[in-house]
Amino acid sequence: MALQTTSVGAVPVHRSLRRVRARRMRPAHAGIAWLFVLPFVVIFAVFTAVPAATAVVLTMTDIGVADLRDPFGVNFVFLENFQTVLTAPDFLRSALNTVIYVGIGVPATMAIGFLLALALDSGIRRARSVFRAIIYVPVIANIVAAAVVWQYAFTLNGPINSFLADLGIVGPNWLGTPTTALFVVLLLTIWRTTGTCMVLFLAGLQSIPEEVHEAASLDGAGYWRRVFQMTLPLLRPTTLLVTVLMSVMYLNIFEEPFLVTDGGPLGSTKSVALWVYEQFGFGNMSNAMTGSIVLLLGVLVICVIQFRMLRPKQ
Amino acid sequence: MFTTTSRQRRALAVAASAVAAALLLSGCGRGDGDADPAASITIDDAPATGTLSLWIGSGEADALEGFLDEFASENPDLEIELTNVPSDSLDTKLTTAIASGEVPDLTMLYSQTQSTMLATGGFAAVPDGLVDANAFFEAAYDGTLVDGVSHAVPWYAYANVWFYRKDLVEQAGATPPTTWDETLAFAEQLKAAGHPTPLGLDVGYDAYSAQALDALVHQNDGSLISDDLATWTIDAPENVEALEFWGSLFAEADASPDGPLFLDTVPWFTSGQTVAGGNGPWFPGFLDEANGEGWSAEHLGAIVPPAGPDGTVSANFGGGSLAVLKDAANADAAWKLARYLAEPDVQVAWYETFGNLPTTEAAWDEPVIADNPLLAAVRDALPHAVAVPAVPTWSEVGAIIGQQMERVARGEASAQEALAEAQAQAEAIGTGIE
Amino acid sequence: MNRLHVVRESGLYLALCLVSALMLLPFAWVAFGAFKTQGEFMSNPGGWLPESFANLDNFIVLFTEEGFGPYLVNSIIVSAVTVLANVLFCSMAGYALAKLPFRGRGLLMGCVLVAMTVPYVALFVPQFLITVQLGLVNTLAGIVAPMLVMPLGVFIMRQFALSIPDELLEAARIDGAGEFGIFLRVFLPLLGPAIATVSIFTFLASWNSFLWPLVVAQTEEVFTLPVGLATASQASNTTAYGLLLAGAIVVLLPVLILFLFLQRYFIQGIAATGLK
């Protein structure tokens, strides 16, 4: 694929070309361009923008379960909900948990995914596609079944503790102790997302031209030095995308704690998204909407910071 | 890539405030709540006609499909559309449906979340004279009340009772407990006979644990909520005593704070790791499934949960009811089916088909139920059973109480501290009833 | 190849086999569990092998009593339409966002990125109200509609389009081709790997989607597999584990097959997007 190589060297040329052409663009083209994006615009407007705007408006009301049949019957309380939510201990706890999920999960998943990609790209010569497929399988699996496995594996008398007992170790009550429960949920999430990281890094590695490696190995640079000094800087765009995708995924983490621990014990595994879902269940629509807007703002801020930090150096 | 021009920003601001203004102009603020005319409708005895859409939780739905054949033949011009809804998601699905007005005619509700669902205002009052309120167990009927008006027909009911391994109890020379004090002595005897942590308590530390506490609270003549349902009374002295008793079972190592959980219950009971514990009437069936038909009859006994210090008996009530949606297209047929399913002989037939127990006291006199020794305790407990507080915020407050119970079970907080904390959080939430 | 290389490569194989085992171990339990009875789960939850692999009851129940056949058809329709629509619409949007300068392009790109990050659990109530207004409740169209143009698909297509040299398009333009002609004749034929990538991502998203079809589908005629799996496995007061695990296998197989067929193009496609 000749196309793959264009991503490395040719970018600045494209940018300048585009800028030149932009000035030449005839007005008629703008209409055509809108036709091209029309399907996206329509679906985005109907199923994301309008619901999101509704949600934002509703965060300023006291909407509850009794208002569902008559949403115009709500009272405006403006920013009171934000005050309620941002001072609620269990919301703050779930925000802290989410930060922990992101803080540990994102680097861990990316490190494992990157090492696996390195091994598959340059370490071995046979059976690559087999390993690639196996490592990706958890990504496509149904989470409900996976969660049952996890729940069972880590119960008090479950297989993990039996295994530890064989080694002479008394295993903890994994799902009943706050720190270990968080660890178990993280482990499931890492298991489910490593494949995505690996595939993305693999694609990035494959788009680094062979000559770059050859030049470096002629210099006699050691393997890990080459990885750090050549490969990683060249992978910067990939790393940015993976960081953003993984951060978004971990910030919105919901199914894993919901299915494995239901947020417990003592709220130690509850994520913000799970908190939001619970508030819906309790009928606190205004809290739920407010919590999710706070979460969305958090996601956006983190993404913007990452874009700034990891932007390709000029 | 996130940059917008100032014009675009202004456009967004205008759009947002337009939506807000539209909402305001349309006259926000709640009215006094329209009077519900449904109660004055009469449902006649003519056969139902038209199409009846029905949402049933996934456990019951498969069995109900064939069970409705008789009703269908009595109502030949009625077409029944039964939808099997994943039981965990029934409430979510109903909530969205009510918000949109695209609702089924009849749905089942689970007793644990019934009040929250009824608070949506999406359900019609039960028409006067449709069913006889006195025919039902009190706990089953009271759970359907909103402001004193029934909004659902009780369909099936159970009380959680204590199951115990009669062989192991006999070997230990113990007798099943009837009071709290006897419970402590019972556990001592079993421990002495080589059964560490013989009692299996609900240690999920969620709203179900809180329900277990609710039973203890009633055994101690207390209540988690005031009689008018307007105020939480979680940290009342009787309730603290009840939680102290529960906590002492862990402190004395009569029960483990770590289990049984998840799939452990059946294997622990089978192996004798758990000798006695509370569970629903379906539990013997699970044990038979695992260990072969007849195992439960041979190894299991059932008793009404031990009474409190003053001899008060109480147990957790659970079950399901049938409710008709306000926006139902065929309310007439919906009420007729609900009435049919609440008839004692139909409820007995339903027990024989699926195992769900009747809500009408009369049905319990039928031999097929009355003669089942493992059900005797359930029948004795049902008249004393208490449903969860019938307020819309119970799921939320119950979850808080369950969380606080974990601190007591693990010895991290006293019963007083835990309930005071729960009370403070519950007060902030309110009961949802004024 | 010197000896050091051989040692290192063998070590890597060993490590990869270990990782693969960790990845696959849970599936082995799921796959074996599909052949167990409820009694086997109750008596020995951690048991590894089923008593008999000839016990196909779980699969039979799924396809007879639980109606998995029609659900499978619905899922295939939903996913096929989702994939086709996304391939077409996302490539159109991606092409315009990368290659056609127009007013509001930056804002639109911002919308794509924001849409990728939205926690959708927050939006399903308003989304459902809109679906009701559109008259799409209880239809497959209602299930598909919000997924027709996924933001991640637009993003991937746009990144891919950026990597296509402008000279190619410019040449066609000079030859007098219109924008639609260029899109169809120059751009689309180059899209192969990106189509594989978008297909897999959007297929996965629609195939495994649960909450939305659950809410939109009001009768069993429009249930999809994940909804059917939930109804089949949630028995009264317990979980039907055998049905759950057998159902999970049924749900997994089509995606697995699709992935195995497309995996080479899939990774090429991601690589070709340039990941800028």
Mean pLDDT of chain C: 86
Partners for B (CB, 8 Å, 3+ pairs)?
A: A, C
Q: Which two tokens stand for residue C60?
A: 């039979």
Q: Is the model more confident about C50 or about A71? A: C50
Asked whether residue C7 is domain-assigned, the answer is no
pLDDT of residue B22: 44
Kindly report, residue by residue over B391-430, the tens digit of the pLDDT: 888 888 998 999 899 999 999 999 999 999 999 999 988 8
> Which chain A residues are closer than 8 Å to B401 by Cβ?
none
Hey, is the C-beta of B353 within 8 angstroms of any chain C C-beta?
A: no
How many domains in chain C? Answer: 1
Query: What ipTM does the predicted assembly reach?
Result: 0.87
Q: Where are the beta strands (DSSP E) in B233-306?
A: 276-279, 300-303
Identify the pLDDT of residue C88.
Answer: 94
CATH of the domain at C197: 1.10.3720.10
Is C41 within a domain? no
Structure tokens given for B299: 């190894």
Q: Which domain holds residue B49?
A: 2-159+317-386
The verdict on residue C127 lying in a domain is yes
What confidence score (pLDDT) does residue B36 get? 55
- What are the helix (H) ranges across C148-210? 151-162, 166-174, 179-182, 192-208
Tell if the CB–CB gap between C234 and B57 is shorter than 8 Å.
Answer: yes
B96 vs C39, C215, C235: nearest CB: C215
- Category of B45 on φ-ψ map: left (φ > 0), alpha (ψ -120 to 50) or beta: alpha
**Contacts with C, A 222-251, CB within 8 Å:** 237-238, 240-241, 248, 251
Q: Which residue has the tokens 């249930």?
A: C223
* Backbone φ, ψ for residue A282 (5° rounding): -75, -10
Q: What is the pLDDT of residue A311?
A: 67
Mutate to test the interface with C, among B6, B65, B89 (most CBs of C within 10 A): B89
Q: Which of A107-121, B28-42, B152-166, C122-136 has the lowest mean pLDDT?
A: B28-42
- Beta-bridge mates of residue A116: none
What is the pLDDT averaged over residues B30-47? Answer: 65
pLDDT tens digits, residue range C55-98? 888 999 889 888 899 999 999 999 999 999 999 999 999 999 98
Lowest mean pLDDT among A152-156, B67-71, B203-207: A152-156
Q: What is the pLDDT of residue A67?
A: 76
Instruction: Render pLDDT for C13-32 as a digit per residue (tens, 0 to 9).
Output: 898 999 999 888 888 888 88
Q: Strand B78-85 relative to strand B50-57: parallel, antiparallel, unpaired?
A: parallel
Q: What is the pTM of this model?
A: 0.84
Interface of A with C in 8-37 (CB under 8 A): 10-11, 14, 17-18, 21-22, 25, 29-30, 32-34, 36-37
For residue C2, the model assigns a pLDDT of 66
- Number of structural domains, chain B? 2
* pLDDT the model gives residue A220: 66
- Chain A residues within an 8 Å CB radius of B206: 262, 264
For the residues B286-312, what does the mean pLDDT come to?
91
Contact yes or no for C128 and B101 at CB 8 A: no
User: Residues B291, B404: one domain?
Assistant: yes
- % of chain B beyond a pLDDT of 70: 90
The torsion angle over the Cα atoms of residues A151, A155, A158 and A164, rounded to 10 degrees, is: 110
Beta strands in chain A (DSSP E): none
What percent of chain B clears pLDDT 90, i.e. is strictly above it?
60
Long-range CB contacts for residues A170-173, cutoff 8 Å, separation at least 24: A173/B258, A173/B259
- Indicate which of C37, C210, C234 best probes the interface with B, i.e. most B CBs within 10 Å of its own CB: C234
Report yes or no: A78 at the B interface, CB cutoff 8 Å. Answer: no
Separation in Å, CA of A158 to nearest CA in chain C: 7
Q: Which tokens sit at C46?
A: 């951690």
Q: Is residue B367 located within the same domain as residue B269?
A: no
DSSP labels for C47-99? Answer: --S-S-TT--HHHHHHHTTT-HHHHHHHHHHHHHHHHHHHHHHHHHHHHHHHH
Lowest mean pLDDT among B3-17, B60-74, C150-164: B3-17
pLDDT of residue A89: 87
* Residues paired with residue B199 on neighbouring β-strands, in sequence order: B255, B276
Contact B121 A280 (CB under 8 A): no
End-to-end CA distance of chain B: 51
CB C215 to CB B92 under 8 A? yes
Q: Is B99 on the interface with C (CB under 8 A)?
A: yes
Q: Is B397 on the interface with A (CB under 8 A)?
A: no
**Tens-digit pLDDT profile for residues B210-266:** 999 999 999 999 999 999 899 999 999 999 999 999 999 999 999 998 878 767 788
Confidence band, pLDDT 50/70/90 cuts, at residue C187: confident
Place of tokens 């009875």: C37
CB contact under 8 A, C113 and B2: yes
Contact yes or no for C42 and B101 at CB 8 A: no
Q: Could you tell me if B99 and A69 are in contact, meaning their C-beta atoms sit under 8 angstroms apart?
A: yes
Contacts of C173 in chain A (CB under 8 A): none
User: Do B334 and B310 belong together in one domain?
Assistant: no
pLDDT at B21 over 70: no
CATH for the A86-310 domain, from 2.40.50.140, 3.40.50.2000, 1.10.3720.10, 2.50.20.10: 1.10.3720.10
**CB-based contacts of A255, cutoff 8 Å, min separation 6:** A143, A147
Say what the pLDDT of residue C273 is.
64
pLDDT < 70 positions in chain A: 1-29, 213-221, 310-314
Q: How far apart are CA C75 and CA C63, in angstroms?
A: 14
Residue B149 belongs to what H/E stretch? strand B149-150
- Closest-CA distance, B193 to chain C, in angstroms, reads 24
> How high is the pLDDT of residue B17?
46
Average the pLDDT over each of A31-45, A257-271, B11-25, C224-238 and give the range with the smallest value: B11-25
| Residue B61 near chain C (CB below 8 Å) | yes
Domain hosting C203: range is: 57-272
C154, C170, C179 ranked by CB distance to A32: nearest: C179
Question: Which of the two residues, C43 and B335, has the higher pLDDT score?
Answer: B335
B96, B108, B269, B273, best to mutate vs chain C, most C CBs in 10 Å: B96
Structure tokens at C51: 């008593």
Cβ of B406 and A266 within 8 Å? yes
Q: C49 φ, ψ to 5°?
A: -90, 145
The answer to whether A49 faces chain B, any CB pair under 8 Å, is no
Q: Is C236 on the interface with B (CB under 8 A)?
A: yes
Mean pLDDT is lowest, of B34-38, B290-294, C176-180, for B34-38
C248 falls within a domain: yes
Nearest to C235 among B59, B270, B287 (CB): B59
Whether the pLDDT of residue C274 is over 70: the answer is no
Residue B124 in domain = yes
Residue type, position A292, single letter = S
Mean pLDDT (whole number) for B140-153: 92
Assigned token pair, B71: 């009703």
CATH of the domain at B93: 3.40.190.10
Q: Is pLDDT of C181 > 90?
A: no
Q: What is the mean pLDDT of residues B39-46?
A: 79
Close Cβ partners of C226 (under 8 Å, ≥ 6 residues apart): A142, A144, C75, C208, C209, C210, C213, C251
Q: Is B434 part of any domain? A: no
CB neighbour burial string for B30-49, b if at least 16 within 10 angstroms, e if fewer: eeeeeebebbebebeeeebe
Q: Say which DSSP state B360 is in.
A: B
